[in-house]
Chain A
Amino acid sequence: MSVDATLSFEEAMEKYDPVLGFEVHVELNTKTKMFSSAPNVFGDEPNTNVNEVDLGMPGVLPVVNRTAIESSIKIGLALNCKIAETCRFARKNYFYPDTPKNFQTSQYDEPIAYDGYLDIELSDGTVFRVEIERAHMEEDAGKLTHMGGSAGRIQGADYSLVDYNRSGVPLVEIVTKPIQGAGSRAPELAKAYVAAVREIVKNLGVSDAKMERGNVRCDANVSLRPHGRERFGIRSETKNVNSLRAVEHAVRYEIQRHAAVLDSGEPVIQETRHWHEDTRSTTSGRAKSDADDYRYFPEPDLVPIVASREWVEELRATLPEPPAERRKRLQADWGYSDLEFRDVVNAGVMDEIEETIAAGATATVARKWWMGEIVGRAKNADVDPGQLGVQPATIVELNKLVEDGKINNKMATAVLDGVLAGEGTPAEIVEKRGLAVVSDDGPLLEAIDAALAAQPDVADKIRAGKLQAIGAIVGGVMKATRGQADAGRVKELILQKLGVEG
């Protein structure tokens, strides 16, 4: 794999103006598939959630999933789109073994939703409007696993396995208009836009919205043009950028790569690019031109979808509060300051905190864990915090162990690391590692006596009422008990011992 030349981001920004575009695929969480009655379930045994329709058996016909249409209309409304009164499906014809019929049933020139926008709030509170070209319905393909060869690619593989469980899962593809004027904030905007779409579909309840499962997948288009030029440059399309951080990184990388290509006097090649999380770079995929001929034509097996205005209004009435209002409400409910709340939003853990609170934690505890512990770990691991694998219940459990005096805060962070390392539940880890606050007063009293004897001057100060000096004795006890003592209990016992009122 040859390494492409890049310019520094700052230099790229001095010379060029980036134009972005996104195609975000959202998998809907309907009970059944887009065109068949097979279950839409993630993670089952391969090729079990399929019937003759999903396998493209001879003679089968598609039937549209009404819930998927409703979900699509809801997404369109939430993106401030117009909803087509009638629209049709089309066939996108191409031969590929993950597509059982060798055509994908999709919408082509008649999307169900079009002409919308989304206002994106950046980290400093600036609002940037992204215009939505369309949101259309289609079906997902099966999943190919290439065996042998290198890099899991079909080229050079010995053979490939195909799982059709995903085949026919309903998708909504949201396509933006070209996004101009983001300048050096383009990478940040990219991340914020995808985060906003994810938040919307999650909030609507129409998708599980888990990027790590591919429920939300982003193709990022990037092109550069010299400052002041109106005509767009040639774009690249980076496929399947499947985390928020990766979206930001991929856009940044492509800007730097394009800038180097343009600086060298070469034209940018219109192509798809593959994102590599490990090297944080893209490599050339398939050359893609507008001349790709999918021989679209209206799907003759389906009748047009008619979305009556009454139906659309009924669905509009069921929409949950828009994200901006939801944020206001959550901030008020949780009692966070403006700064605290913005940090939470920018760290991408608002939903996680909400879920943690729903699982039984207080707003303060939830924020302490997510912002204080998990965000940092996610950053080190270079993943989105939600993808680190921390369950809301884990935090509630950890916090309870601390509150009950079973472990202290220091131990709790170690237990969290244990959970992330897959060692088990917090309780199991406490058990396995023999972690426990020393709660038997006997050993504590011994340690206190020793600490007092070692620092008689400090003991005198405390007796004289200088209670803040107690820290030195507590520190000695903690050291002696290797951190397993409950600091609060130690304090109490010291005061008792010295006959001082706390």
Chain B
Amino acid sequence: MTDTNELIRLSAAQLAQKLAAGEVTSVEVTQAYLDRIAAVDGGPRGVHAFLHVNTEEALAVAAEVDAIRAAGGAAAAELHELAGVPIAVKDLIVTVGQPTTAGSKILEGWHSPYDATVVKRLRDAKMPILGKTNLDEFAMGSSTEHSAYGPTRNPWDLDRIPGGSGGGSAAAVAAFEAPLALGTDTGGSIRQPGAVTGTVGVKPTYGSVSRYGAIAMASSLDQIGPVSRTVLDSALLHQVIGGHDPYDSTSLPDPLGDLVAAARLGNVDGMKIGIIKELHGEGYQAGVENRFNESLELLKQAGAEIVEVSCPNFKYALGAYYLIMPSEASSNLAKFDGVRYGLRVLPKDAPLTIERVMGATRAAGFGDEVKRRIILGTYALSAGYYDAYYGSAQKVRTLIQRDFEAAFAQADVLISPTAPTTAFKLGEKLNDPLAMYLNDVATIPANMAGVPGLSLPGGLADEDGLPVGIQLLAPARQDARLYRVGAVLESLLEAQWGGPLLAQAPALATSVVEPVETLETQEAK
């Protein structure tokens, strides 16, 4: 048996190997992560990556995998490669047997009667689900500060944000509370948290992973994707969750090919990598820019050809995004009305009409950022404004797609910093929505065009010693290229650092004994 402190630091691929070889059991691995969660997640200075910890079920699945492996034979041989490797799930994705809150009071205590397709696939692969991770309410935010259940802290500096909306999944993986996690990315919610926590996050090609069971923010932009500590691990997880789903009409009919093989290829010979002129330089932190340039140099040394491409319409992406996303969100969130499930608030005074109950429920159940976006979207879709706002934004979307087409005519993969800055301090941008929105300036174009994007750690910024993310972008359905280039760059960088970047993260206090802040403990209060 391996030391648990080492065990939790292994990658998912390494864990899978050890499990297959019988060097460790899934129960040991799962318990090690549950212990780590108990040690670092709760309390006033805890990471608070989890909203719910799924101890019993996770251990039961782990024990089942161990039993199958111990029995040997065909059943053991048929076990999925990642069977027994635990995973955390963003609390925007519905799960039977655990609450799903979307980080909102309006769904407090709600249990889904059905599993998301990706969750079914995790269950089919027999991956123990450790619990549900924190997020900005309904995935609206870039810092996880908009969670109704309190912010998640960045394991690199507990006074800083872990990014958002998927700060919980990224922080859980960065703090070794889980080897893998699922996220959702509408404008950067997987990649930007990955960047600021020194982890890997992938937004797959739109339609390549089923959205069935991911509580929708903006249907045409949302995509579920993997969160991990290595590029290979994301590829392994992507293979588990991807593929056609008849329950999602926007699901692509054909699989993306062998992503794991791409991550293992190990060369970038002759590949053309395009720097997007508009996505670096002015407005980007110096330390971010430095690490970005180093990555370019490494790729060049490895045999890639670096070219510069221009995407002139990307400057309109943020504006158009903040019309399309709230428009769709305003409609998607209309169902939260207190009639069928979730919170129901009765107005204090008469009359108790349906409109007033819906109004009181939504007023009490939604946070400010959610209300802000609902109001923005309702306005943008209103008669007389539709053409000027939603209609124009859709045209911008087409222009962005054309920019990508032109860029991919010159390069196989595009590259940029994932976020303009490293992690900012908790509370720093909370009252400045526009500054908050600017965090996603480099990640939004991929969602607008439906193309895949990957963020991987690019090192630490000189000025603050915090992680910097490097973003790779590929044409739609060419996710394999991201894994190929990402894995090569990762190994070149790790050779420089002498190991994974996360090894340089400060040790988290593990003496905290306060219980994990979960829905149950909150309800108990």
Contacts and interface: CB of A to CB of B under 8 A. Distances in A.
Contacts of A55: 340
B327 interface: yes
A230 interface: no
B437 interface: no
| Residue among A59, A64, A95 facing the most chain B CB atoms (10 A cut-off) | A59
A154 B354 contact: yes
A303 B250 contact: yes
Contact of A95 (B94, B216, B337): B337
B113 A52 contact: yes
Interface string A293-311: 1011100111100000000
Contacts of A62: 249
Interface string A428-455: 0000000000000000000000000000
Given A102-B337, A297-B331, A93 B381 contact: yes
Contact of B112 (A57, A293, A297, A303): A57
B211 A61 contact: yes
Contacts of B112: 52, 57-59
Nearest to B362: A95
B219 interface: yes
Contacts of B383: 291, 293, 295
Nearest to B207: A303
Given A59-B93, A59-B116, A303-B250, A293 B382 contact: yes
Contacts of A154: 354
Nearest to B355: A95
A4 B249 CA distance: 50
B358 interface: yes
B334 A103 contact: yes
Contact of A61 (B247, B336, B354): B247
Contact of A57 (B330, B339, B341, B390): B341
Contacts of A405: none
Contacts of B102: 58
B444 to A, nearest CB: 16
B405 to A, nearest CB: 20
B330 to A, nearest CB: 8
A466 B395 CA distance: 97
A296 B107 CA distance: 27
Interface in A42-60: 52, 55-60
B150 interface: no
A8 B386 CA distance: 46
A162 B354 CA distance: 13
B378 interface: yes
B381 A295 contact: yes
B246 A58 contact: no
Taking residues whose C-beta sits less than 8 angstroms from the other chain, chain A's interface range is: 20 to 34
A496 to B, nearest CB: 78
Contacts of A93: 330-331, 334, 381
Contacts of A60: 212-213
B247 A295 contact: no
Given A58-B112, A63-B247, A103 B212 contact: no
B334 A101 contact: yes
Contacts of B214: 59
B interface, over-half SS: loop
Contacts of A97: 337, 339, 354
B114 A57 contact: yes
A62 B251 CA distance: 12
Contacts of A296: 381, 386
Contact of B249 (A58, A297, A302): A302
Contact of A56 (B100, B219, B340): B340
B215 interface: yes
Interface string B18-53: 000000000000000000000000000000000000
Given A52-B114, A57-B112, A300-B219, A63 B331 contact: no
A84 to B, nearest CB: 18
Contacts of B216: 59, 61, 301
B249 A303 contact: yes
Contacts of A95: 334, 337, 355, 358
B220 interface: yes
A249 interface: no
Contacts of A360: none
Given A59-B116, A61-B212, A154-B354, A103 B331 contact: yes
Nearest to A290: B383
A174 to B, nearest CB: 25
Nearest to A63: B249
Contact of B331 (A58, A59, A295): A295
29 contacts: A52-B114, A58-B102, A58-B112, A58-B215, A59-B112, A60-B212, A61-B216, A62-B249, A63-B248, A64-B249, A93-B330, A93-B334, A97-B339, A101-B335, A102-B335, A103-B331, A103-B334, A162-B339, A291-B383, A293-B382, A293-B383, A295-B331, A295-B381, A295-B386, A296-B381, A297-B327, A297-B328, A297-B386, A301-B250
What 5 pairs between A and B have smallest CB-CB spacing? A102-B334, A295-B381, A300-B219, A300-B220, A59-B213
Given A61-B247, A302-B249, 6 more contacts: A56-B335, A58-B107, A95-B334, A97-B339, A100-B339, A296-B381
